[in-house]
Structure 1
């Protein structure tokens, strides 16, 4: 005897309610949304995830308000499970109701419980509560998201206007990326007008130009699809959680040893001549498609994800083309965050140093360069992951310390090129500071050029290497260093108070 007929009415009712949720804001609002060159929330998830892997939860939350304005669930990215949420702007402007807030909390709770990444796709107007209304002790997603920090990778994309509470999701994440349609702010233009009298557009308030310049957003994609592709690419360098080591890339001819004679042409022996550090990364790492994080902010330092011998690594490199490589406040803040993220997920860090120190001057001091420099120093010196260092030409003063050029600081290997100079300051600055004459200045310069040999004589570096040996020296040190992975990984414990 079959009982299938008894289920007919119940299943039809379930299907009707599901279809209401799948319809989001309805045909007209969806058409308007797509007409602006944007994917809708469900299309965004379909593009982000491996085909056919999305498993939704909370579909019926919100009743007549489709999914309560946020589509949530799990899926796979290149075969790795992730938790995902996509705000649906076509439904009540993606605003947050009590049910949606609970779904957000549940997303982060499951990400941490299952030890898998959390990805949030943002385009919403913040809390939906009427004036004066408060949700009491309804669990907030930000509490759960904060608990995820340093334990599972957290990524957000700003794909439209994101305001209020919803906007706070982005800066709490490890990595944030924005589309041309994106804008992020504490409160939108109408509230700004009411509060301050300022007339301003959402683009002027928190569009890509503003958010990238402020450092609130890390990266930029040409459209929704490009943003989602970059999230997949970013995650490919990371383990699913701090309880795993980063994944090794599959067999690749680019991953083996090779000399780097091109560095002899790229890097001038003359400290005064600039070069593009990006060309060094192209030569040293497995492939030239390494992934740069925050390329438009703090440009005096390059932060990038790359592969060395098939192993994901984090790269922190001075950029001589910007401020002659001097470390300014923005660059130090960017690097401090990047180092902490890399260390949290056990990515080895490769430091490529070529700087004349921290950026001097009144403007730099007003920007808090010493505080930011202390933040970067604290991040790198407390990092527990494998650290590899190369001084290409120079590293002076505190600018050398933030780049992990310190004895007894837990490095796996330290290298320098012959003639690399270091110390409190360069010869030219020292001669001016000491009012030295021409002959003395020349002596100081010669002493500076010999500094690498004096340092090597006291094991200030593990080895002096020729530029064409750079990749192979780093590769051998990395292959040796990863043998330390003889116990199960776990989250990093941090006790230092961040400057």
Structure 2
């Protein structure tokens, strides 16, 4: 009898062991229970996200700790972890499996996820979490809580080092909600995703308030009301496409430059000429700032961040000459582009993200200032509005600003002004850079004259016109060097391209310190 025949017989032979491996592998990848209607499985979701055939799973045969009766949990313990590529670039990914213990985190589940986070940090690649679980696994007690805290610690360690993206595809409750909150971006699916600390039943039991999961923390509420999420997807496939799109703008880590692509063709003369007529002659008339942005960035493409939250400010990723930029712009279509608490916090977080990953900042200003009012003051607009000032002043990436129309008061200072460290500041002839608008300024400066005038309306009109001709222009700021150039609108893209090219080698050393103390 040959050696080959001897080793291949029985369960302990090579063939038997190979068969045993395949049997275990089949059990490990089998669903733990029924899925929700129309839902993809955890591995199917990963395969939709990653390049075809690129996924390598880790921890396939990990099992939960033995229970009191000595039984063991299923393979994988309710989470699928591994690595692969998106558009050929490495990424680590985990997907909670709601068919195993409802996707809740147990000890082995948590250890697998943390091991993946550690791998992502070691290799310097983004990590994407596909969340669909019931929070801490009650039957495992404090061990599951400990692992949530460990996961959050990894999220904090990775913050600003590697991009972290959370996709909420089902429930995400209790301690499970805090990890996505710390990551850079959160994507939710309309009508399917829910994210909250305390569910409707518990709220009703404790406070007597009746609500629904959708109202409390549904995808639409999280994208429009509280800003907990950054993208609203139509379905799971759309959510994963959004992640792929987002990753295309981001570097693998904070030590690598953002990806570069073939430069797009420059817009034609007609496209540039349209910018000359974008800003209405009447100061109070609104227009869509996105018309300007699309004429400046490559192919007119913007990936808006938190598009449905605080729409009075636009935050978006785009390309200019094939290189990623972060765009921050006031939106006159919504509340005249005023800066309120939500807009300030939305933009501050985006500015800090871009700075952390070396993405240059383009700012387009048309801002009447910070929003006044009792409600805003009592809600803390001083402290919370200061976050945007802090973020711009802290940022060391290349910063280019274009003042399109209004830049009044604190709004002028915060929206990428020279005084907060912007490198190149441009202004259109339509820019009005002043402490306040003409009507308000005249009312303050000439109150007594107006009260004593025989025809106060005529006097007011003359004073407003005089103020506008003196202060309602960009030229006083240009005379002082606060604006580097006043340009025709059609020249905006060429001027921005030149500025960004000149700033590629920018160095901006910061004082040695542990970290600053942003007004949280």
What TM bracket, shorter-length normalisation?
A: over 0.9
Matched, 1:482 2:504: yes
The residue number in structure 2 matching 1:365 is 377
Unaligned runs of 5+ in 1: none
1:458 CA drift (Å): 2.1
- Structure 1 residue 132: deviation in Å? 5.6
* CA shift in 2, pair 1:387/1:493, >3 Å: farther
Q: In the alignment, is residue 470 of structure 1 matched against residue 492 of structure 2? A: yes
Aligned counterpart in structure 2 of residue 19 of structure 1, from 26, 30, 36: 26
How big is the shift at 1:235? 0.8
Q: Tell me how far apart the structure 2 counterparts of residues 332 and 401 of structure 1 sit (CA, whole Å).
A: 13
1:16 CA drift (Å)? 2.0
Deviation, structure 1 residue 243: 0.8
Whether 1:291 and 2:303 are equivalent positions in the alignment is yes
CA separation of 1:319 and 1:49: change in aligned 2, threshold 3 A = same
Q: How many angstroms apart in 2 are the aligned matches of 1:193 and 1:381? A: 44
Change (3 A) 1:359 1:95: same
Shift of 1:65: 2.2
- Superposed displacement of residue 443, structure 1: 1.9
CA deviations over 1:208-261 (Å, ceiling 9, x no partner):
232111011111000000000000001100100001010111353358999711
Q: Please list the CA deviations of residues 291-324 of structure 1 after superposition, one character each: whole Å capped at 9, or x if unmatched.
A: 0000111111100000111110000000011111
3-state secondary structure, aligned to 1:140: helix
Q: Secondary structure at the match of 1:82?
A: strand
Structure 2: how far apart are the matches of 1:346 and 1:284?
20
Alpha-carbon spacing, 1:167–1:417, altered in 2? closer, same or farther (3 Å) = same
Q: How does 1:391-410 map to 2 (within 5 A)?
A: 391-407=403-419, 409-410=420-421
Alignment match, 1:175: 185
Which blocks of at least 5 consecutive residues in structure 2 are unaligned? 64-71, 451-459
**Aligned position for 1:38:** 39
CA distance in 2: counterparts of 1:455 and 1:376, whole angstroms:
22
Which structure is higher in RCO with an 8 Å CA cutoff and minimum separation 6?
1
Q: What do the CA deviations read for 1:30-76 (whole angstroms, capped 9, x no partner)?
A: 3xx2x2x3222111101000000111011112254241111111010
- Counterpart CA distance in 1 for 2:288 and 2:141 is 55
Q: Which has the larger radius of gyration?
A: 2
1:238 counterpart residue number: 250
Q: Which residue of 2 aligns with 1:113?
A: 122
1:58-69 to structure 2, matched below 5 A, reads 58-62=59-63, 64-69=73-78
For residue 103 of structure 1, report the CA deviation from its aligned partner: 1.0
Q: Which residue of 2 aligns with 1:454?
A: 476
Superposed CA deviations along residues 262-307 of structure 1, whole A, max 9, x for unmatched, are: 1122222432221000111111111222100001111111000001
User: After the TM superposition, which residues 20-419 of structure 1 pair with which residues of structure 2 at under 5 Å, given as runs?
Assistant: 20-26=27-33, 29-30=34-35, 33=36, 35=37, 37-62=38-63, 64-130=73-139, 133-134=142-143, 140-180=150-190, 181-212=192-223, 213-254=225-266, 260-407=272-419, 409-419=420-430
Task: Measure, in 2, the Cα distance between the counterparts of 1:23 and 1:255.
Answer: 52
Q: What SS does structure 2 have at the residue aligned with 1:253?
A: coil
Distance, in Å, in 2 between the alignment partners of 1:69 and 1:194 is 29
Q: Distance in 1 between matches of 2:323 and 2:216?
A: 40
Aligned residue in 2 for 1:496: 516
Q: Distance in 2 between matches of 1:364 and 1:199?
A: 28
Cα offset, 1:364, TM superposition:
2.2
Inter-partner Cα distance in structure 1 for 2:469 and 2:90: 57
Residue 134 of structure 1: how far off its partner (Å): 4.2
**1:429 counterpart = 2:440:** yes
* CA distance in structure 1 between the aligned counterparts of 2:50 and 2:160, rounded to whole angstroms: 23
| Structure 2: distance between partners of 1:149 and 1:253 | 35
The Cα RMSD (Å) is 2.4
Say if 1:124 and 1:160, in contact at 8 Å, map to a contact too: yes
| Deviations 1:95-144, CA, capped at 9 Å, x for gaps | 00100010111121111111000100111001113386445865721111
Structure 2 Cα separation of the partners of residues 325 and 251 of structure 1: 31
1:8 aligns with 2:30: no
Q: Secondary structure at the match of 2:110?
A: helix
Alpha carbons of structure 1 residues 4 and 245: separation in structure 2 relative to 1, 3 Å: farther
Give the deviation of 1:204 after TM superposition: 2.0
- TM-score calculated relative to the size of structure 2: 0.89
Kept in 2, the 8 Å contact 1:48–1:232? The answer is: yes
| Cα drift, residue 406 of structure 1 | 2.8
Range moving further from structure 2, 7-16 or 86-95: 7-16
CA contact (8 A) 2:131 2:169 kept: yes
CA distance in 2, matches of 1:176, 1:457: 44
Which residue of 452, 455, 467 maps to 1:444? 467
Which string of whole-angstrom CA distances, capped at 9 and with x for unpartnered residues, describes residues 442-491 of structure 1? 32222223x41122122221111011111111011011111338x9x99x
Distance 1:47 1:136 in 2: 31
